[in-house]
Amino acid sequence: MPKYALLAAAIAGLSVTTVHAQEKVLNLYSSRHYQTDEALFSGFEKATGIKINYIQAGEDALLERLKSEGANSPADVFITVDASRLAKADELGLFAPVKSKQLEDRIPAHLRTGEWFSFSQRARVIVYNPRSVKAADVQSYEQLADPKLKGQVCVRSGSHPYNLSLGAALIAHDGEAKTEAWARGLVANFARAPKGGDTDQIKAVAAGECGVALANSYYVARLMRSDKAEDLKVAESIAVVWPNQQSWGTHINVSGGGMLKHAPNKESAVKLLEYLASDAAQVYFADGNNEWPTVPTVKVSNPALDKLGAFKADTLPIGQTSKGSATAQKIFDRAGWR
C-alpha cells in the first residue's frame, strides 16, 4: 500500500477515535423497574445530548457487579429504591461525594447525605379492615404490638428492606430495647406467617384474613387507580391510617441514587443527578409510581394521593434511618420476624 494510503488510513482511524472520545455518554445501573423511567431518561438525553447506556437488574446483582468490576467499572450512576439499599452501596464504598448547589438547594437536607440523594418519597402506612378493627386501635406503629390485635396482623418478611427501614426509624425514635419489645409483640399478633409482598397484605386485609397490615402507600394508590374491578373492590374494602401523627410522623422511604466512585463520566453523572431534581423529572419520578417528589415546590396531580390526603411525615435524616437497618435485622431475627 502506498505511503499516502497508509497515512490516510491512520488519519481516518484517528478521526473515528476522536469522535468516540468526545461523544457524551453516561452509564447507568438501575434496579428501578418502572416503565415511566424510560420517558424520564429519554428526557435527559434530549435536554443534554448525553446518551444513556442503561443496565437494569436487581439491586443485589448490580451491587455484586459493581464490587467485582471495582476500579474498572464503567458505571457512572447507581439508582435504586429504599434507603437501606442505598446505605448498603454507601457502606461498600461505591459512592463518591457530590457537591452541587442545585441539589443542595432543591432537595431538603434530611433527604440527602452528600453521597446519595432522594428523588421520590413513599410512606409506610397502616391498612386496616374497618369491619373488624377500630381506627383508634391502629393510629401508630407501636399499637400494632398491642395484645388487643392478637391474630390480626399481616406483614411481609422482616428481612425485607421496607420493614428494616421502618425498624431503623423506630430504633432512632424509641430506642433499641423498646423496638425489640415492639417486634416481639408484633410477632405475637401475626394472623399468619409473613409471606408475599405489600399488595398481598392489602388483599389479605380486604378478604378478612387479617385485620391490619403494613404497606407502602404507592401499593394502595395503585389499587385505587386500577382499571380492574377486583382491585377497586379491594381498595374500597380497606381503610388507611397515616401512623404516628401525634408523635414523630409517618415513616418515609425513598428512591434515590448517587455518582459512583470510579465513574468515568463524572460531569455527566452530576448532570443526571441534577436533572432528576428538576421539576419535569420530579413529576415523572414521583407520579409515575404514585409517590411524592422530594423537591417541596413540585406539585403532583394524582387523584389517589389526593384522596389519601395530607399527613405529617417523619423528618428523621435519611442517612440515619438507613444506617440502622442492620441493627433492625438483628432485632427482628431475635423476635422471630423472618
20 known member of a binding site: no
Statement to judge: residues 7 and 21 lie in one domain:
yes
Length of the chain: 338
The CATH number that applies at residue 68 is: 3.40.190.10
Residue 211 has what DSSP assignment? Answer: S
Q: How many CB atoms lie within 10 A of CB 110?
A: 18
Please tell me the distance from the alpha carbon of residue 96 to that of residue 90, in angstroms, as a whole number.
9
Total of domains in the chain: 2
Statement to judge: residues 115 and 256 lie in one domain:
yes
Please name the residue that has the C-alpha cell 459512592.
95
33 known member of a binding site: yes
Statement to judge: residues 239 and 182 lie in one domain:
yes
* pLDDT for residue 318: 92
Q: Which domain holds residue 66?
A: 3-121+252-303
In-domain check, residue 54: yes
Region of 208 on the Ramachandran plot (φ > 0 left; ψ -120 to 50 alpha; else beta): left
In-domain check, residue 34: yes
pLDDT of the chain, 338 residues: tens digit per residue: 443 333 233 323 433 333 344 579 999 999 987 777 888 899 999 999 999 999 999 999 999 999 999 999 999 999 999 998 999 999 999 999 999 999 999 999 999 999 999 999 999 999 999 999 999 999 999 999 999 999 999 999 999 999 999 999 999 999 999 999 999 999 999 999 999 999 999 999 999 999 999 999 999 999 999 999 999 999 999 999 999 999 999 999 999 999 999 999 999 999 999 999 999 999 988 888 899 999 999 999 899 999 999 999 999 999 888 789 999 999 999 999 99
Q: How many CB atoms lie within 10 A of CB 315?
A: 13
Statement to judge: residues 148 and 73 lie in one domain:
no
Statement to judge: residues 240 and 257 lie in one domain:
no
Q: Is the pTM above the cut of 0.85?
A: yes
The C-alpha angle with vertex 198 and arms to 108 and 289, in degrees rounded to 5, equals 45
Statement to judge: residues 134 and 276 lie in one domain:
no
In single-letter form, the type of residue at position 307 comes to K
219 known member of a binding site: yes
Statement to judge: residues 228 and 326 lie in one domain:
yes
Statement to judge: residues 97 and 20 lie in one domain:
yes
**Does residue 113 sit in helix, strand or coil?**
coil
Residue 218 C-alpha from the chain's centroid: 11
Cα–Cα separations (whole angstroms), residue 235 to 135, 226, 294:
16, 9, 26
Contacts with 326 (C-beta within 8 Å, 6 or more apart), sequence order: none
Statement to judge: residues 73 and 11 lie in one domain:
yes
Statement to judge: residues 246 and 105 lie in one domain:
no
Statement to judge: residues 256 and 280 lie in one domain:
yes
All three cell numbers of 143, joined, read 399499637
In-domain check, residue 104: yes
Statement to judge: residues 113 and 143 lie in one domain:
no
In-domain check, residue 284: yes
In-domain check, residue 308: no
In-domain check, residue 267: yes
* pLDDT for residue 176: 97
